Structure 1
Amino acid sequence: MQYHREEELKNRLNNFFITQFSLPEDDYYSRLDSEKIISLKKALSDINNLITMKITISFVNWITKKFNLSQESEEKIINEILSTKPSTNGYDIVSDEIVKLIAEVKCNIPINAGKKYGSAQRNGITKDLNNLLYGKTKSKFDTNEYLKFMVFLENESVRSANQHYIHLSKEFREKLIVVDEKTIFDRKDCVYLIHINFIN
């Protein structure tokens, strides 16, 4: 059967609505006029920010348990996150609560459901690693006294892409530690890569 682009897109969109939202089987695609498609595009454009926010809050829950932060400290960090606009410059998390740490949160998903990042994704990760290790350009913030984290979504493809990135990276290979249950957080000259599940 010959490939038909519109049929493929229609089937994928309908299947998404039916399976992800438990909607009855129907042709939802046929109901989308140009205004509805634009509205859908606007809503979906915030997905990256939503994923980043969810991962960030999950990471705060994790550091609260790992470093025995008080509930008050946890709430303070979360309030700072929720009151910061997504496009704001700076690190995603800066905390001086008991333990000094900074974190960049990445919502990267390997392109085409693969196990490797695209070049733009790799460049973004490299830039953020440099910022964590050496500070941001035009910023007086000194990262040397902070534990440094790069936070990713817990996902098999993401883990594979991160391993591939580490394998290819001569610059950072010795400065990246993938966090597991046995990891000891006693180095400030490296970046701890951690994979975190969402919380609702």
Structure 2
Amino acid sequence: MKTSFDKGQYLKKKFNEYWSLILKDKQDYFSKMTEENFDLLKSALSNINNIITYNTTIKFVDTACKILNISSEEKEQISNTVKSTKPSDNGFDVEYRGSINFVCEVKCNRPINGGDRFGSAQKSGIEKDLIVLLNGKTKSPINIEEIREYYKFMVIYKFDSNTVKAINHYLLHLPKQLVGKVKLYEDGMEICKDLVYVLLIK
């Protein structure tokens, strides 16, 4: 006789697997949870994307300063600006006007369903950010004319090899309005202000 699926046992198993991996201690964490605990955990997890975005942005600042030959003094200034920016603030994730101007949008999209392709909503989000990097963002202090004088970057957090495959696939199938305007950055590449350069950062 075929055994029926038990959703409760499945959810318990997955919950325990995740927390055993995170805490390096195999236990029945699920049985210790109350509804209040689950609600509190849900609130905490809603901030995870902000944490990953912040850490990735700080790493990008270091990379960008190497690419653009920005001094250590300016790098510290840029890092301090990132650290003092609230997650809810409008504008680009990094927008710097100094000896060299540059802007950046950071994306932390893991390909859906454990695959190696971004979902339609993820692709729409990437497309939207690429467009504002090229054309400016209304809620940024950098106006539409000024954006032309900035180096432009989109940073993708590299979760794993599937993320690399997903962004390469996306770049091979760019929407028409972005063709010829976006390029995957490679070490040592000469860059210009007319393109958006995609960087993968771990």
TM-score normalised according to structure 1 size: 0.91
| Contact 1:166-1:172 at 8 Å conserved across structures | no
1:114 to partner: Cα distance:
1.3
Alignment coverage as a number of residue pairs: 195
Instruction: State the SS of the aligned residue for 2:152.
Output: strand
1:70 to partner: Cα distance:
2.4
Counterpart-to-counterpart distance in 2, 1:8 and 1:183: 48
User: Which deviations, in whole Å up to 9, do the C-alpha atoms of 1:160-179 show, x marking residues without a partner?
Assistant: 11122222222213111101
1:68 to partner: Cα distance:
2.9
Residue 148 of structure 1, aligned match among 145, 148, 152: 152
| Contact 2:155-2:199 at 8 Å conserved across structures | yes
Counterpart-to-counterpart distance in 1, 2:165 and 2:66: 27
Counterpart-to-counterpart distance in 1, 2:67 and 2:57: 15
Listed as ranges, the gaps of 5+ residues in structure 2 are: none
State, as a whole percentage, how many aligned pairs show the same letter: 39
Pick which of 90-99 and 47-56 moved more. 90-99
Q: State how 1:12-31 maps to structure 2 within 5 Å.
A: 12-23=14-25, 25-31=26-32
| Contact 1:167-1:173 at 8 Å conserved across structures | no
Counterpart of 1:191 in structure 2: which amino acid? V
Task: Find runs of 4+ consecutive structure 1 residues off by over 6 angstroms.
Answer: none
Listed as ranges, the gaps of 5+ residues in structure 1 are: none
1:134 to partner: Cα distance:
0.7
Establish whether residue 2 from structure 1 lines up as the match of residue 4 from structure 2: yes
Q: State how 1:113-192 maps to structure 2 within 5 Å.
A: 113-137=114-138, 141=143, 142-154=146-158, 155-169=160-174, 170-185=176-191, 187-192=192-197
Counterpart of 1:22 in structure 2: which amino acid? K
| Contact 1:93-1:103 at 8 Å conserved across structures | yes
Establish whether residue 103 from structure 1 lines up as the match of residue 104 from structure 2: yes
